Every structure is written in C-alpha cells, then in structure tokens.
Amino acid sequence: ILSGDFCQLPPVPNRINGVQVPPIFAFDATKWHSCVGPPIMLSKVFRQKDQTFVDILNDMRFGKLSDKAVAEFMKLSRPLLYKDGIGPTQLYPTRNEVERANKTQLDRLPGEIEPYVAIDLPGRDSKDRLVSPEVMKTLLERMVTPPRINLKVNSNSSCCR
C-alpha cells in the first residue's frame, strides 16, 4: 500500500555524474501502473473544518487557483513586524532559489562580508577503508551545506549537520 499526497511539489532535479537528470514523479515511472494499479482519490478532509479554506487547498493542489481563492489570499495581505528582527524560516525547492534569497538578505545588512570555508577531510567507509577523493567529491556535491559561506555581523544562520 502506498499513501501520500501526490499533488505536492515536484521532485528536485538530480545530477548523475555531473549531468542534470530531469525530475520525474514516482507515478510517471514506466512500471507504475503495472506495479501499483489505479489510484484511489480520498475526498474527505479531516484536519480542516473551514470549507472555503479546503476549497482553496484543493485548487492549489492542482495548480488552478480560482479568482475567489486569489481574493481570499489577498485579504490576508498585511505588513508583518518581527520585534526581534528575525523573520520566519523560508523554504525553497531548489538550491539556486535558496542562494538567491540568502544573498538578498545578506546584501541588506551593513558591514563587511566574512567568508567561512569548510575544511573537509576524507573519512572511512563501513569497511574501514579510506574514502577516495572521487567518492568524497561526489558525497560533498550531494551535501546540503556549501563548501563556503559568506556572513556579516547579525546574519541569520542555521546549523546543518
């Protein structure tokens, strides 16, 4: 049994040997229908009681916002003030969008940029063999954290393991 909302964000593109591979949904796979069978669409929403909100969420799931849905969202538009100066964490689907947003925020801060460069050393694999430079390079390319970051005084940052 597979379950989930298959109307979520599309998969993030992947790279194999440095070549970008187009993202595909699991249900677009060649063998999906022969392995899984026909989908069953659940229609009752349990977590939300506001039918207008449920309708808007359903519009969004299929990427077709009605004029009514857009008008409802526009009613929510207002300036937000953060007393501590720290806004909410924003999530983006691609690294490029993350980097662009981070650069925009960093450029707004006064002061000089201080670069911080990672020092990455090869470790050992599960058989206690030293990881080769090629494998290490591949692993580092897949990491969430970049090899170098630029910060300024009062930069917001988060620690990624």
Q: Is the domain of 146 the same as that of 101?
A: yes
Q: Which domain holds residue 71?
A: 14-75
> Which is it for the CA torsion 92, 97, 99, 104, positive or negative?
negative
What is the number of structural domains in the chain? Answer: 2
Q: What are the DSSP calls for 49-62, one per residue?
A: --HHHHHHHHHHHT
CA dist., res. 74 & res. 56, Å (int):
13
Least confident of 12-16, 19-23, 38-42, 82-86: 12-16
Q: For residue 161, what pLDDT is reported?
A: 62
Contact 14, 23 (CB under 8 A): yes
Least confident of 26-35, 96-105, 125-134: 26-35
**Residue 131: band (very low, low, confident or very high) from pLDDT cuts 50, 70, 90:** very high
Q: For residue 27, what pLDDT is reported?
A: 79
CA dist., res. 140 & res. 120, Å (int):
9
Average pLDDT over residues 15-29: 78
Average pLDDT over residues 102-109: 94
Q: Is the domain of 70 the same as that of 109?
A: no
Classify residue 8: in a domain, yes or no. Answer: no
Q: Is the domain of 63 the same as that of 100?
A: no
Classify residue 83: in a domain, yes or no. Answer: no
Question: Given a cut of 70, is residue 9 above it in pLDDT?
Answer: no
Classify residue 90: in a domain, yes or no. Answer: no
Inter-CA distances, 135 with 6, 23, 120, 127, 132, Å = 33, 23, 13, 15, 5
Q: Is the domain of 69 the same as that of 118?
A: no
Question: Given a cut of 70, is residue 106 above it in pLDDT?
Answer: yes
Q: Is the domain of 26 the same as that of 63?
A: yes
Which residues, including other chains, have CB under 8 Å from residue 25's CB and lie 6 or more apart?
A: 6, 10, 11
**Residue 2: band (very low, low, confident or very high) from pLDDT cuts 50, 70, 90:** confident
Taking 3-state DSSP, the helix, strand and coil percentages for the chain, each rounded to the nearest 5, stand at 30, 10, 60
Q: Is the domain of 60 the same as that of 111?
A: no
Classify residue 157: in a domain, yes or no. Answer: no
